[in-house]
Amino acid sequence: MDKLLIEGGISLRGEIRIAGAKNSALPILAATLLTHDTVQICNLPHLFDITTMIELLGCMGVQPIIDEKLNVEVNSSTIKHFNAPYELVKTMRASILVLGPLLTRYGRAEVALPGGCAIGSRPVNLHIAALQTMGADIVVEDGYIKASTKGKLRGAHIFMDMVTVTGTENVMMAATLADGQTIIENAAREPEVVDLANCLVKMGADITGQGSDTIVINGVSELKGCSYSVMPDRIETGTYLIAAAATKGRIKVKDTRPDILESVLSKLEQVGAEIKVGENWIELDMHGKRPKSVSLRTAPYPAFPTDMQAQFTALNTIATGTGSITETVFENRFMHVHEMNRMGASIKVEGNTVIVEGVDRLKGAPVMATDLRASASLIIAGLVSDNVTTVDRIYHIDRGYECIEEKLQLLGARIRRIAS
Ligand code: EPZ
């Protein structure tokens, strides 16, 4: 397994380009199952998770074509079966996103039940309950979700007990071809849900309210092909900005969107960063100053994103003062804390809150990644450490960050990948 080797103590400086959003590209790839026309998807990030979703479509008999510009063209008319096997689903939970499209287009789907992962049990009960309300017959047996519907799914008035991003996306896709109107109350408002909705509308779906907590979908008879460019990745953007703030640096991130990062930019200003924004770029400058600790609480959009909690914890470890970080979305998203304390951080876990007392510096050490965003936080910890840190199990990082060592090298970091 590859490792990343990081020599800390460098302030990040320079410019990088942000890739397309993983958590928007994944549902949009699943949405190609809703039509037999060709859908072209541009600005896809080059990530393991994207490859896995393309592999999943492939194993169902749908052969995406990757063109010279690395855009993907998908025509699902060659589909052979409607099963998503455990071998693929176990590597990527987002495979559950094929359930809604298969069920509403073909009346059948058999999707392996995604297991839990490092950050929590992550059940899919809300996906299943909503689809049952729309008339689907669903049994969970032998580790598989076995779903079918006689005729079309029925539009329904659905109240999601919890805000669920992929749950909202699954139901929204299922509703596009259902009979009648579906209203999703307590819908997720994440920008990636809006991006998927915008792509579905371009395919001919009748959707309003995306971005609010009430989404209304009127079923249509069929969807057609389109060409759609995936939005920039706000989590990748925030990760690099936080790394620059932690290392007292100055960076500019391009091909991104400041309007969907307001909660993060406001926290970065609290740590002492000077932030300038343009239509598709963000510049952060710490003027060489050590960051100040911040306190924050994660929650569904537009509140502070859970996917940037670990990264901010890393920043707090070497900031001035003490900050508390509360995680309200997942029940076990502090796996990085133990590793950071091994590097000399002073973090106490109290239930779903960590209290981080800033220290002057961390000491590099061999650490192990446990999930995608924890991996990024350990890289940030390595960047602000004395001497060398090696991060193991970085297959987690390759799932969600395109060319991370190259982009950090462009910003002056001393980081390299070593095969082990
Ligand atoms: C999406 O996961 C993202 N993944 C996650 O990003 C992100 O952390 C999460 O939303 C929250 O923003 C993708 O979009 C592919 P949820 P998702 O359903 O949809 C509970 C990353 O790092 N829940 O919004 O799986 C669940 O356990 C990944 O890129 C149920 O109880 O998350 C959690 O506590 C990590 N039953 C909460 O809701 C359900 O049926 C929110 O989960 C569904 C969810």
Hey, what are 288's tokens? 């060489």
Distance 50 CA to ligand 1 centre (A): 17
**Does ligand 1 have an atom closer than 6 angstroms to the CB of 164?**
yes
- Cβ-proximal residues to 329 (8 Å cutoff; 6+ apart), any chain: 298, 299, 300, 306
Q: How does pLDDT run across 309-354, given as a tens digit for each residue?
A: 999 999 999 999 999 999 999 998 999 999 999 999 999 999 999 9
Give residue 121's pLDDT band: very low, low, confident or very high (50, 70, 90). confident
Average pLDDT, the chain: 96
Question: Who has greater pLDDT, 116 or 72?
Answer: 72
What is the whole-number distance in angstroms between the Cα of residue 54 and the centre of ligand 1? 21
pLDDT more than 90, % of the chain: 92
Residue nearest to atom 20 of ligand 1 (CA): 122
Q: What is the mean pLDDT of residues 205-213?
A: 98
CA distance 283 to 259: 14
Ligand 1, atom nearest to 192 Cα: 14
pLDDT value for 213: 98
Distance from the alpha carbon of residue 362 to the mean position of ligand 1, in angstroms? 31
Contact 94 CB / ligand 1 (< 6 Å): yes
Distance from Cα 166 to the centre of ligand 1, integer Å: 7
Q: Closest residue (by CA) to atom 38 of ligand 1?
A: 164
Q: Please name the residue whose Cα sits nearest to atom 27 of ligand 1.
A: 122
> Which ligand 1 atom lies nearest to the CA of residue 119?
35
Within 96-153, strands assigned E span 108-112, 137-141, 144-148
Mean pLDDT for the stretch of residues 276-283: 98
Contacts of residue 174, Cβ cutoff 8 Å, sequence gap at least 6: 100, 101, 103, 104, 131, 134, 153, 182
Question: End-to-end CA distance of the chain, in Å?
Answer: 5
Tally of CA atoms within 13 A in the half-sphere of 315 that contains its CB: 36
**Residue 190 CA: which ligand 1 atom is closest?**
12
Nearest Cα to Cα of residue 378 among 326, 410, 334? 334
Cβ 193 under 6 angstroms from ligand 1: no
CA atoms of 15 and 3, how far apart (whole Å): 25
Residue 400: name the closest of 32, 5, 33, 52 by CA. Answer: 52
CB neighbours of residue 105 within 10 Å: 23
Q: C-alpha angle with apex 309: 305 to 313, nearest 5 degrees? A: 155
Quote the ligand 1 centre to 165 CA distance (angstroms).
6
Q: Residue whose CA is closest, atom 13 of ligand 1?
A: 23
The Å distance, Cα 114 to ligand 1 centre, comes to 12
Nearest C-alpha to atom 10 of ligand 1 is from which residue?
165
Say if residue 300 is preceded by a cis peptide, omega within 30 of 0: no
Quickly state the pLDDT bin for 116 (edges 50, 70, 90): low
**Other Cβ atoms closer than 10 A to 143:** 11
| Residue 136: Cβ-neighbour burial (10 angstroms; 0-12, 13-18, 19+) | buried
The pLDDT of residue 262 is above 70: yes
* Ligand 1 pocket, mutate which of 166, 304, 375, 396 (most atoms under 8 A from CB): 166
Residues 6 or more apart whose CB falls under 8 angstroms from that of 347 comprise 313, 317, 337, 340, 341, 354, 355, 356, 357
DSSP code, position 184? E
Q: How far apart are CA 374 and CA 331, in angstroms?
A: 14
User: Strand, helix or coil at 72?
Assistant: strand
- Say which residue the tokens 């990745």 belong to: 233
Active site residues: 117
Query: Is the CB–ligand 1 distance for residue 195 below 6 Å?
Result: no
Atom index in ligand 1 nearest the CA of residue 330 equals 34
Tell me the pTM. 0.97
